[in-house]
Amino acid sequence: MASSEPVETPPTVPVRHSREGDLHVLGQGHETVLYHGDDVIAKPKKVEAVEEDDSFFEVTISDVKSMFTNLQRRRENLEDAPLLGQKYRALEKEKVILKRLHDHPNTAVRIRFPDRFVLQGIFRTSDTIGSVKSWLREFLSDASLEFYLFTAPPKNVLKDEIKLVDEGLVAMVVLYFGAEDMPENNRVLKEDVYSRISDPDKTFELAKEKLKVRQCEEDNDHEIKPSTETQIKDHSESTQPQPVRRPVDKGKVPKWFKMK
C-alpha cells in the first residue's frame, strides 16, 4: 500500500543569468550596465535571539512619568509652534535641495523592468527625469515606445521636467519601467543588450567607485583658488622695492628738542 504522506519538493533555485565576476559596460557616458534581479544573492545575517525576563516588560512609575512629561512637552511644542508662511516653507525646501546636491552631486539610477532585468546608469543629481528617459530610449528595441518611469510604493509616475533631487532621488535609487503596450514577454531592450549581462556585485562596485570618483571631481571643481588678478597683484607687490626703515633709538633725542 502506497504511503499517503506528502512528498517534500526541494526549493527551486533561480537560474543565474550572468557569470560571477562579469562586468560589461554598455555605454561610457553613464557607465551603463545590465544585471538581473535573480542574480542578486541575499545573504541573511544570523541574529542571536536574546531572551528577556518578565521584569523587562514591566512599566514602572518612573516610566509613566517620563512618558507623560514627553507627551506634555510635545503638545506644548505643537500649540506654541508658529504657522509657517509660504515663503518660509519655500526657503526650507530650497535649503534641503541644496544640501542634497552638496552631499550627493551624482546618483546611480537603476531602472527595473517587469522581467526583473535592471539597467543602471550614473547621473548628476540635478538631471531631470526626461534626461534619464532619453538615455534609456537608446537601449530600447522600439525607440518609439511610449513609456513612463515611476517610484513605488505607492505608485508615483514621474514627470519629465522633475529633477532627481526634487523627488529626493539621490545616491542610489530604483525606478520602475511602465508602458501601456508592453510586449508579451516583457522584453523591451535590444537583443544585443541581453547578451551582455553583468554580475550584480560588480555593478554595485562600479556604482560606488564612479560615485566616489565623481564626488572627488566635484570637490576639485569647487575648490576656491585665487584669481589671476590677485596673483599678479601679490607678485607685483612682492617685487617692488620697499623703503628702508631705520630703527629708532628711543634713548636719543634731537638737539633742538629741550625738556621744560
pLDDT class for 68, splitting at 50, 70, 90? confident
Task: Considering only residues 178 and 15, tell me which one the structure prediction assigns the higher pLDDT.
Answer: 178
20-64: pLDDT as tens digits: 999 999 977 899 999 999 998 755 555 555 565 555 556 677 777
pLDDT for 1 beyond 70: no
Q: CA 206, 209, 211 angle in degrees (round to 5)?
A: 105
Question: What distance lies between CA 131 and its chain's CA centroid?
Answer: 17
Strand order of the β-sheet with 156-157 is 33-36, 117-124, 106-112, 171-179, 147-151, 156-157
pLDDT value at residue 27: 78
pLDDT value at residue 139: 97
Average pLDDT, the chain: 78
DSSP 123-147: EETT-BHHHHHHHHHTTBSSTT--E
Residues making up the chain, counted from first to last? 260
